Chain A
Amino acid sequence: MAERGRSFDVAVLGAGCTGAVIAYSLARRRILPLVIDTVQGHLPAPASPVASVLDGNTPDMRLAIRSAERLPDLQDAVGPFGYRRTGGMWAALSDADAATGQARADAARAAGLPVAWLSREETLRREPGLSELVAGTVYCGHDGVADASALSRRLLAAAGRFGGAVQLDCGYVVVARQPSGFRITAGHDDVIARRLVVASGALLRALGRSLGVDLPLRIRRRRLCVTERVPPALRHTVGGIRQEPSGAFVLDPPPVIAEGDPKMDVTDEVDALRRIVTAAVRLVPAVEQARLLHAPRWTFVEPADGRPAVGRLDDDLYVAIAADDQAVTLAHVIGETTAEAIAKHRWPEGLEIWGPERFTAAASARTSAWVQDSTQGS
């Protein structure tokens, strides 16, 4: 627990995967971090794919796979967080889909990624549980799943062993910029940190608003469907459907952009579940035999273009948000990058693809006052 008036090198707002890996990477570099979150643990987001090969552009894919390659090492260093490689498949259900998929696989291969196009026969040989409708799949052996909340827990514990501090469940956070650094009031604590890393989309939004800044963020809505245990039918993650070791199917469709508040009508709910389950059954017929046990939904905030954002708004203020789909995947690279930037006072080379420019450019266009204030201080 942080003490009143104590000062830290860096405060990290947000104790999700990204915040935790930043804290861990900083602590390993002997930079004392304090991690703050308003809640105690996050909602059950049991696992997320570690390498989404078809969503996003090619450079993101490369980073994702680079990160996935490091996850086993990270697991050795901080303890198990449920990482396992499952391989991932993007299934085509029509000849037109197949042509698109094949082109994508070719492009990915040309970029040096371990991605292959599997014919219908080869797909069904590897995945006998798939529907006969399948026309082929794009396959990436690096895909896997991990327990996001376990990962952040392990990382925070490891950061703690290096002297980092964690303050969770503090209910609210107020940040004020002072000449000596950021004064952070979180729950009962009041601390000073020289630098601030905002690694929580929701907090970033609130923080931006409190400073009169409109950050380029959007709200998305996500819904998982989890079935009861059924006999094993699926070995890979196929088009957002996977089967846990326990036997439960997890149907994990891509999130949708939120449009206002949900209506006070249950038909919306039924329609949403119907769409997800119908799509899943079309791909994996065994899903039809299972009963749905729960379908948690939640909203989250991410950069408006849906890609991870790592940025430096000025010398002391950093932003790091992995898009929700890729939290586990990219947390590792994002965390290392941010920690490196803070430790060395400069942005590392080679990350221009999703580096600071995009985000700071978008933000600074509307944040002149904020940025000006901080440049005066530095």
Chain B
Amino acid sequence: MVGAGPAGLAAADEAQAAGARVLLVEERAVLGGRAVLVPGARGLTEGLMRGLGSAEVWRSSPVWSIAGRSIAVLRGARIETVTGAAVILATGAPEAISPFPGWTLRGVVTLEAAWEAVRGGRITAESGPAIVVARAEQAALATRLAERGVAVTLSAPVRPNGVPPAIAVTPAVPAEAAGTDAVEEVLLDDGTTQPCRLLCIDSPRVPALELARLAGCPCVYQPLLGGWVPRYDPMMLLHGPAPGLFIAGDAAGVDTPRAAAESGRLAARAALRMLGLLAEPETKLAEARQRLAAAAQPLRQAAREALMLGATPDETIEAWSPRPDTVICACEGVQLETLREAAVAGAVTPDALAARTRCGMGECRWRRCGLPVLRWLSGFRQVPVGRLPLPTMWPPLRPLPAAALVRAEHPGGDADG
């Protein structure tokens, strides 16, 4: 299992209950994935973590390449390669800020990052003043920040229930963040300017599909599921060159944490059946599918079902075009204007833009700028987003210390940890 969010944890739980040898690889130091953000989902992941039992867990271990059913993992300072009889990709869907002027300044963060800072005790009164842009169910972040002494303004259409009166609520939304290095003030779309050191933005979650794409799986655009998702069958088996590659959780389409967990269980059962570890009556695939359908949001479930049946990509032509000086690629500091110039000169695919402007060639490797570039390109070319070519993926998908590669050249030095 790659990824220890609800899907990966549930899949691990299911697989080891059936007697499979399980390895759970997680990029972060903590397990649970992004489900910690959603009220009520923490109990779900904590329950799953208690049931991990004999499964081997590698934390802080990003997967940086995949070929067939074998993956390359950066584990501490070492590189490990692992081949699974079945591999379940549960890489989740990180939040991605939609670029606006000043979004790359220090202090402009996703809600997820803000929650992490809150939980890690890194928020003090000096962290503020803060502006939180959030839907009602995420307004708790504003409350938590205020509890830590931060002056908070909540940007929401109406004051959500339970928000203490100490928190100012404005219907205006940030249009621009300004500052030299870190954010100092925020210009709201009602024309007012507010001092701000922490701007927390509720951002759409985008399925992380680098591994599936590197493995050679075809992808299809479905905005209801968060963007591009790989094609998979009703048993979560990925279409593509390698048999035995499954997908689960938000990586297969953004949904509720419970649906992620159920899709993990479904993928695990399908994998177990494939491996012959679970005989037909016990697999209960139909039941697992029903449970997934019950846990999922109806519209998203319908989109997923349509996708499995081979639905054609969404045909929306986007008209998203921020201010020309907006930085689109944060790693390489590429502005929209630069992209436009390159596109006018003929670079109208992500790869061509990368070759010309270095957009997407930095540390994050299209993770932040991929969807914005394609959305903008859609409007520029008047081509549906779903018909545009995706950027080519190259390993390493995560920055790989050269020292780790060199050290791995001399095996036998230190024993396996």
* A positions within 8 Å CB-CB of B: 40-46, 149-150, 153, 168, 226-228, 262-270, 273-274, 277-278, 280-281, 287-297
Contact = CB atoms under 8 A, between A and B. Distances in A.
A86 to B, nearest CB: 19
Q: A46, A267, A268, A269 — which one has the most chain B CB atoms within 10 A of its CB?
A: A269
A306 B404 CA distance: 34
Contacts of B71: 266
Contacts of A287: 402
Nearest to B403: A288
B139 to A, nearest CB: 38
Given A228-B363, A270-B81, A263 B67 contact: yes
A43 B363 CA distance: 19
A150 B70 CA distance: 37
Contacts of A42: 355
A292 B67 contact: no
Contacts of B400: 273, 291-292
A42 B392 CA distance: 12
B376 to A, nearest CB: 17
B392 A296 contact: yes
A252 to B, nearest CB: 15
Interface stretch (B92-100, B105-113, B260-268, B346-354): B346-354
Contacts of A292: 396, 399-402, 405
A40 B342 CA distance: 13
Contacts of A295: 394-396
A278 B71 CA distance: 21
A149 to B, nearest CB: 5
Interface in B320-372: 345-349, 351-352, 354-356, 361-363, 365
A264 B406 contact: no
Q: A40, A168, A226, A297 — which one has the most chain B CB atoms within 10 A of its CB?
A: A40
A265 B70 contact: yes
Contacts of B402: 227, 277, 280-281, 287-292
Given A265-B70, A289-B402, 10 more contacts: A40-B347, A41-B351, A153-B345, A228-B363, A264-B241, A274-B409, A281-B402, A288-B406, A291-B401, A293-B396
B355 A43 contact: yes
A268 B72 CA distance: 10
Contacts of B68: 263-266
A278 B406 contact: yes
Contacts, number: 118
Contacts of B392: 43, 296
Contact of B394 (A41, A290, A296): A296
Nearest to A268: B67
Contacts of B349: 40-41
B406 A46 contact: no
5 contacts: A265-B67, A266-B68, A266-B83, A270-B81, A288-B402
Contacts of A278: 405-406, 409
B242 interface: yes
B399 A40 contact: no
B273 interface: no
Contact of B70 (A41, A262, A266): A266
Given A41-B351, A294-B361, A270 B406 contact: no
A164 to B, nearest CB: 15
A293 B399 contact: yes
B9 interface: no
A292 B402 CA distance: 6
Given A43-B392, A44-B351, A293-B396, A267 B81 contact: yes
Give me the 10 closest cross-chain CB pairs, A-B, nearest first: A264-B68, A41-B352, A44-B355, A291-B399, A266-B67, A266-B70, A292-B400, A277-B405, A296-B394, A266-B72
A352 B183 CA distance: 65
B70 A267 contact: yes
B79 interface: yes
A40 B352 contact: yes
A233 B86 CA distance: 44
